[in-house]
Structure 1
Amino acid sequence: MNPVDIYLQHLAAERRLSPHTVAAYQRDLAQLGQLSAGKPLAELSVTDIRGAIVRLRGKSLSAASVARHLSSWRGFYVFACRRLGYTHNPCLGLRPPKAAKALPQVLSPDTCTQLLNGAQPAAEDDALQARDRAMFELFYSSGLRLSELADLDLNDLDLQSGEAEVTGKGRKTRIVPVGQQALSALAVWLQQRAPLARDDTPALFLNQRGTRLTPRSIQLRLKRWALQAGLNQHVHPHLLRHAFATHVLQSSGDLRAVQEMLGHASISTTQVYTHLDWQHLAKVYDQAHPRARKKS
């Protein structure tokens, strides 16, 4: 049995990877053989692996695809050095090309206003409409993650101080401000909530059965709400979080404050919104500056 087959058997039998994943490793290793002109894998050098990466990039593969290939090759050589007597790992020290970070899509302030004000409550569905309006106002007001909003309990909300205590990633808690529009919508929902509540559930947002609303249900309700508001784009909860961060940063310029409100552990995560803000400024410049406009 050749070294690649032994490795693939190890992946399937010992690591219990799925057949689909094992097949992906097999393809990546077969491609390494092709890219190195059939040279035995045991004889490949760092230079050979670098050349294979260059050839992959020459085929217009994305940085993510090249990174996956390199990960597959590195995994094989780690196994081969430990179990098959290979004397060196030619992938050591090689880094995959950096993938360009896709900037998140952002709703404009006008679009957010259309979304939050556009859907009018139906007479037979007042409680659910009040709940949805409160949820989506809170998303935009406070920049919450979907899981954070779904996990909110009644005692996490303080209408008097205009704040909410949120439990984020790693079970870390933070205090976020709640805007006036969201406070008003929450007050209306809390009046409607009491008759729906079941078994003294602590959840802030409930379904028709009186139990905690699931994240998936919140996603579906937002999608429906956006359609009712006449938006012709896919709106998901994280889009409102992006809108919150971008609009606060555009108005205040305070990156540290936005980091704290979003609950980001690192400022580098928050810095993506500075790029979004720059895109906005660049667009305004292109439209307004006489030296930036193209001659007609």
Structure 2
Amino acid sequence: MLLTDAFIEYLRYERNYSAGTVAYYKADIQDLQDFIEEKVGDLTPSEVDAELIREWVISLMDKGLLASTINRKLSSLRSYYKFLLRKGEVDSDPLRRVVAPKKKKVLPVFLKESDMDRVLDDTDFGEGFKGCRDRLVIEMFYVTGMRLAELIGLDDGDVDFSLSQIKVTGKRNKQRLIPFGEELKVMMSEYVNRRNEVAPVRSNAFFIRENGECLSRSFVTNLVKRTLSKVVAIKKRSPHVLRHTFATTMLNHDAKLVAIKELLGHESLATTEVYTHTTFEELKKVYNQAHPRA
């Protein structure tokens, strides 16, 4: 078995990474291997030095890749070489002498509460099953803060109406519980009733199309983009914007950062803290507009 294949097997079966995450690791390693083969020929991992990896990083920057993307690729390579070190396939890690490019801090894009009120209260989603489902999808993102993959991965058994909680499976197959209120409960119950009438034979997925099949990523992404376009003019109109909006709204209403972290399924509090910067930026805008000496 090739070293790369052994590493991929390790990620898939020992670390229990998702198929999407494993694909990123594999593509990142292949990217470096392609660069090396084109530049100097076929080399084993032990023959790759820091200088060669630096040249690869520079080539990625020349292609216009963002620092965050390059850092993700370097992170994949670091994990790969740590694996090889443990297996005794290499004597040293060349990544230790490679400095990652600095990332430009980009604040999350989110909608104001007034804009979300317009999205949910003034948008015509249509009648019947489709209108009920589409509105619930938008509401679910905003009220729970779940990720796109988590929403389309929901099964009927994940929604507990008696306890008013949803079990979601997040990154690295980690599960968490998200509570919901009476308003969302009523909306979900209405959707389930309409869904069961339209598609008595269907998959176990909670959200489905009229033919009973589960929703795809592109379907939900286009639905969110189309809906937000009717109200706001921001360039980024993705499901993740609604996740950011959920977190910012919670913070603006005095929710504790630790609680928001648990609801979002973040591993580190540092990831959640970016929303404090977001709300501070909003405060600065209000200050600059309102204070005569700002």
| TM superposition score category, shorter chain reference | 0.5 to 0.7
Q: Which of structures 1 and 2 has the bigger CA Rg?
A: 1
Structure 1 residue runs without a partner (length 5+): 1-14, 27-44, 79-88
Provide the residue aligned with 1:110 in structure 2. Answer: 114
Task: State how far apart, in whole Å, the 2-side matches of 1:290 and 1:16 are.
Answer: 55
Does residue 225 of structure 2 align to residue 223 of structure 1?
Answer: yes
Shift of 1:24: 11
Provide the residue aligned with 1:153 in structure 2. Answer: 155
Q: Secondary structure at the match of 1:206?
A: coil
Q: Secondary structure at the match of 1:286?
A: helix
- CA, structure 1 residues 96+142, in 2 after alignment: closer, same or farther (shift >3 Å)? same
What pairs up with 1:258-273 in 2 under 5 angstroms? 258-273=260-275
Shift of 1:114: 1.4
**1:283 alignment partner AA:** K
Partner residue of 1:282 out of 275, 281, 284: 284
Partner residue of 1:120 out of 121, 124, 129: 124
Task: State how far apart, in whole Å, the 2-side matches of 1:24 and 1:238 are.
Answer: 37
Task: State how far apart, in whole Å, the 2-side matches of 1:91 and 1:266 are.
Answer: 24
**Alignment: residue pair count:** 237
Partner residue of 1:185 out of 184, 187, 196: 187
Task: State how far apart, in whole Å, the 1-side matches of 2:94 and 2:124 are.
Answer: 63
Task: State how far apart, in whole Å, the 2-side matches of 1:16 and 1:176 are.
Answer: 36
**Deviations 1:201-255 (CA, angstroms, capped at 9, x unpaired):** 321111111121122211122223234x443344211110000001101111511
Shift of 1:94: 4.7
- CA, structure 1 residues 198+101, in 2 after alignment: closer, same or farther (shift >3 Å)? farther
- CA, structure 1 residues 284+216, in 2 after alignment: closer, same or farther (shift >3 Å)? same
Percent of pairs identical after alignment? 32
Shift of 1:25: 7.1
Task: State how far apart, in whole Å, the 1-side matches of 2:178 and 2:198 are.
Answer: 27
Task: State how far apart, in whole Å, the 1-side matches of 2:96 and 2:231 are.
Answer: 54
Per the normalisation by structure 1, the TM-score is: 0.67
The answer to which of 179-188 and 166-175 deviates more is 179-188
Task: State how far apart, in whole Å, the 2-side matches of 1:16 and 1:283 are.
Answer: 43
Does residue 102 of structure 2 align to residue 101 of structure 1?
Answer: no
Structure 2 residue runs without a partner (length 5+): 1-27, 40-49, 82-92
Task: State how far apart, in whole Å, the 1-side matches of 2:233 and 2:288 are.
Answer: 26
**1:248 alignment partner AA:** M
